[in-house]
Copies of this chain bind each other. A is one copy, B any other.
Amino acid sequence: MENFNFYSPTEFVFGMGRESECGEYVKKHGGHKVLLHYGGGSAVRSGLLDRVKESFEKSGVGYCELGGVQPNPRDTLVYKGIELCRCEGADMIVAVGGGSVIDSAKAIAAGVPYEGDFWDFYSGKAPEKALPVGVVLTIAAAGSEGSPDSVITKEEGMLKRGTGADILRPKFSILDPELTQTLPPYQTACGATDIMAHVFERYFTNTKDVEITDRLCEAVLLTMVKETPRVISDPDDYQARANIMWAGMVAHNNIVGVGRQQDWNSHGLEHELSGLYDCAHGAGLAVIMPAWMEFVYKHDIMRFCQMATRVFSCDMDYACPENTAYEGIRCFRNFLHSIGMPINFQELGAREEDIPVLVEKLGIGSGKRAGFVELSSEDAAEIYRIAAHAEL
């Protein structure tokens, strides 16, 4: 195990109806005037936004608002949010939505007290100050409600880039599983895929002797394998939604990933897909991650055997462990297909002839990208090709 720091000072407020307490938590964490940040129609139509506003009024919290966050949230709206916070004197941002809204809120939070261009933080500079962020989560997926991370897309060139710093972790996050019951199965499955990918990016490591985090990773994966089909077949299953919602937080606040090298190349490869085609991040991961696994598994067959046997209950083939390793990847892809995810470029709406563009945007050039297995541009192209042609 490697040395690490772990600091997750977010107050999680979990359960049915808890969004009505939002105003109290704003006050508890020092907010007086809030920028209420959200996406499009569903939070308005469902009455959620009204309930949150009502809780502000009840607690004497002032607010201004900025809606319109898109999936793959854009820098252009972040600039608007920064401007609005400054004009209105907002001292906290409350994101009502999923990962895109929360990521956009974090970008605004970092941008408000910063004199330069907030995009600096998405180009390598670490943010040192930020307004506090609160969250009312509406989809279990990105884990942004408990993470220090934010990903924003620069509209010019559709460039998708991320940042991360503990000061961007939300002060409080309200997780009401009931709010996710209105999500259509496809979005639910995209979220589940994202959650599993967050774990796998941590699971495939070259760090030896990390049994505790291996086991914690497997705990989340096993939960997702059991609970996801339940919500696909019955979207109103509160208990399954609740298990997935807490799993989504645990998957990405890094308690299951400390002290070990992590990978994140599947996320990197996927970002170019959703950047170019504006597809759902989870759907892109469903296509890329098993392809990445096929490309790298021979690097550590025993680790893939561990995944196959512990997560997908494969029988261990002691005569030929490689069979078991490969079988685990097959199980993962089959699982993704069974919950309605695309498994190749055609199903995703991506085109094989764009692979050179995707690789170019990745920006590896003639170097290598670090990870479980280092990737060259040619390696990346090969993974995209495997993804393009994948079959069950």
Contacts and interface: CB of A to CB of B under 8 A. Distances in A.
B259 A255 contact: no
B227 A222 contact: no
A180 to B, nearest CB: 13
A306 interface: no
A262 B145 CA distance: 26
Contact of A14 (B3, B208, B211, B244): B3
Nearest to A222: B215
A14 B4 contact: yes
Contacts of A222: 211, 215
A38 to B, nearest CB: 24
Interface string A205-244: 0001111110110111011001100000000000110111
Interface stretch (A5-13, A182-190, A266-274): A5-13
A338 B258 CA distance: 30
Nearest to A248: B212
Q: Chain A interface: which size bin?
A: 35 or more
A367 to B, nearest CB: 30
A391 interface: no
9 contacts: A4-B12, A4-B14, A5-B11, A6-B11, A8-B9, A14-B258, A212-B223, A215-B222, A255-B255
Interface of A: 1-16, 18, 177, 208-213, 215-216, 218-220, 222-223, 226-227, 239-240, 242-244, 246-247, 250, 255, 258-259
Given A209-B239, A212-B250, A219-B219, 5 more contacts: A4-B14, A210-B243, A212-B227, A212-B247, A216-B250
Give the top 8 A-B pairs by smallest Cβ distance, nearest first: A3-B15, A9-B9, A215-B219, A209-B239, A219-B219, A1-B242, A7-B11, A6-B12
